[in-house]
Amino acid sequence: MAGLATTFGSGAMTNSIAEVGDAACILAIGTNTTEAHPVIGLEVIRAAKGGGKLIVANPREIDLCRFASLWLQHSPGTNVALLMGMMRVIVDEGLFASDFIKDKCEDFDAFKESLEDFNLDFVEQVTKVPKAQIIEAARMFATNCPATIIYAMGITQHSHGTDNVLAIANLAMLTGNVGKPSTGVNPLRGQNNVQGACDMGALPNVYPGYQAVSDPAIREKFETAWGCSLPPSLKEKFGITWSCSLPSSPGLTLVEMLEATYHKDIKALYIVGENPALSDADTQHVRKALAQLEFLVVQDIFLSETAEFAHVVLPAASFAEKDGTFTNTERRVQRVRKVIEPVGDSKPDWWIICQVAQKLGAKGFDYSQPSQIFEEIGNLTPSYGGMSYGRLENGGLQWPCPFDDHPGTPILHANTFVRGKGRFIPLKYIPPGEMPDKDYPLILTTGRSLYHYHTGTMTRRVTGLNTIEPEGVVEINPQDASQLNIAQGDRVKISSRRGEVIAKAKIARAWPSGVVFMTFHFAESAANILTNPKLDPVAKIPEFKVAAVKVERL
């Protein structure tokens, strides 16, 4: 999100899901689309079967490779080098969109100069992708328009993840593939409503609608609406002396909060719908932090690994037991309708939060139904200003939708970039935070399975899914397995500098020699005990995708 906000002015998916299937060229990088985002995966396959070019850039031979015109099997953590190498070819061969760049972009010359560091000999050495394939990919993407880029956590979950996103944005601008149908830069969100949560200000630096906490006018607007404070003129008029101002500077990210907890700078946490005891990097460190809290509240639909540390557990309702809206990865706001009443003592999240706030003596939390909250959202969030439950009954709307009869916005940056002009960013190659060595000679990368979701809080309670995939495995290349005397199904120990886990070995040709893979769904073989907590300096996301490990047969 931070990378796209810097270059384009907005951190969201630029285009719509249905447009992907009409693209003349698709670059799918850092995404196992058919397993993690199967609906979008179908659109990618539709484009490929319809004659479109598909470039897959992934260390793993994923299902989409069956439909690809070209598969670039780069080493984990080398995305910037690969993308900058492609752009070096595009610039050297004069394939870039000069008019688009001149009219709609800025800082191109500085970016162009930064490409000098990425000669193809260097790029091949770093990425392990042959020069001929890099040249072919560059020409394919630059000459088949409209072209679109889709990416997921294989791009963002690195210690240089923001640079990865900036490189993708540079490529889209370089080829003029922004602001038109079936083009753009399209991040695929990791959960069904993560876009909506971010839209509503579940970030440390913004209020709802990505309105900066550092902007005094924005802060005053929310203080007035929420009754936190009043403008000086009204205070003087009514003789009001009290004040409870909203924050004027960004707060902490999730990882920073847990680190502050570890050092006892934070004494209490309220965790809603999150399972950091299994989902966060270096989870042994996270669990030590949670154990030190003086007070922990966990609000969730099941008793998760994190809830085991809680002093109070508040039972929340599932998606099928509540009304509201979800905002999906294409910025589409859609109604969610209750199918059954909440089971047992569970309640909708909004109701629980309102009850807690009222017990604390807060005002303004007397909502009786979620539609009232959505009305407030529209009043305070310009991009949602034209939406209402009435309009959403007829189908979803894509933000920005600023006024009542606005049709929604399928394509961002159509006339101009949100920030005015698209900004090219010069980049350098930065290696992953941890590289293999004699003690830990293999790279571990992590991801999701088709059959389970995140920490398995819901999916591991489904008998059929557990029958198909009952336990965690470590996928290992046949050559590495042979050298380590490991056979299919052997129990092995995987160790990193942070801990060790036991899992079953699965021999898999999908991975290159030197790289092993684990999902993070299984508490019994918790991959995130091993992963590297090194943070991206901008987005503060840990390096889940590259950790140095060793594997030993038991």
Q: Looking at the structure, do residues 115 and 19 belong to the same domain, yes or no?
A: yes
Q: What is the pLDDT of residue 228?
A: 79
Task: Give the whole-number percent of the chain exceeding pLDDT 90.
Answer: 89
Q: What is the pLDDT of residue 364?
A: 85
> 272 lies in which domain range?
253-315
Q: Is the pLDDT of residue 229 over 70?
A: no
Q: Looking at the structure, do residues 161 and 12 belong to the same domain, yes or no?
A: yes
- Whole-model pTM: value is 0.93
Q: Is residue 430 part of a domain?
A: no
CATH of the domain at 452: 2.40.40.20
CATH of the domain at 133: 3.40.228.10
Q: What angle do CA 196, 314, 228 make, to 5 degrees?
A: 60
8 A C-beta contact, residue 422 and residue 7: yes
Instruction: Tally the domains of the chain.
Output: 4
Pick the range with the lowest mean pLDDT from 1-5, 201-205, 354-358.
1-5
CATH of the domain at 309: 3.40.50.740
Q: Is residue 412 part of a domain?
A: no
Q: Per-residue pLDDT averaged across 153-169, rounded?
A: 96
Q: Looking at the structure, do residues 345 and 201 belong to the same domain, yes or no?
A: yes
| pLDDT band, residue 231 (cuts 50/70/90) | low
Q: Is residue 129 part of a domain?
A: yes
CA distance to 291, 316, 383, per residue, from 295 (Å): 10, 19, 37
Nearest to 425 by CA among 184, 179, 185, 174: 174
Q: Looking at the structure, do residues 363 and 471 belong to the same domain, yes or no?
A: no
CB atoms within 10 A of CB 391: 18
Q: Is residue 494 part of a domain?
A: yes
Q: Is residue 549 part of a domain?
A: yes
Q: Is the pLDDT of residue 5 over 60?
A: yes
Express each pLDDT in 238-251 by its tens digit. Answer: 555 555 688 889 99
Q: Is the pLDDT of residue 439 over 70?
A: yes
Q: What is the pLDDT of residue 486?
A: 97
Express each pLDDT in 253-297 by its tens digit. Answer: 999 999 999 999 999 999 999 999 999 999 999 999 999 999 999
Q: Looking at the structure, do residues 269 and 281 belong to the same domain, yes or no?
A: yes
Express each pLDDT in 103-145 by its tens digit. Answer: 999 999 999 999 999 999 999 999 999 999 999 999 999 999 9
Q: Looking at the structure, do residues 34 and 55 belong to the same domain, yes or no?
A: yes
Q: Is the pLDDT of residue 94 over 60?
A: yes
Q: Is residue 23 part of a domain?
A: yes
**C-alpha–C-alpha distance, residues 378 and 200, integer Å:** 11
Q: Looking at the structure, do residues 197 and 183 belong to the same domain, yes or no?
A: no
Q: Is the pLDDT of residue 181 over 80?
A: yes
Q: What is the pLDDT of residue 454?
A: 87
Sequence-separated (6 or more) residues with CB below 8 Å from residue 124: 85, 130, 131, 134
Q: Looking at the structure, do residues 136 and 46 belong to the same domain, yes or no?
A: yes
Q: Is the pLDDT of residue 232 over 70?
A: no
Q: Looking at the structure, do residues 461 and 348 belong to the same domain, yes or no?
A: no
Mean residue pLDDT across the chain: 95
Q: Is residue 236 part of a domain?
A: no
Q: What is the pLDDT of residue 508?
A: 96
Q: Looking at the structure, do residues 327 and 463 belong to the same domain, yes or no?
A: no
Q: What is the pLDDT of residue 237?
A: 63
Q: Is residue 382 part of a domain?
A: yes
Residue-wise DSSP of 453-478: -TT-TTGGG-HHHHHHS-S-EEEE-H
**C-alpha–C-alpha distance, residues 407 and 10, integer Å:** 19
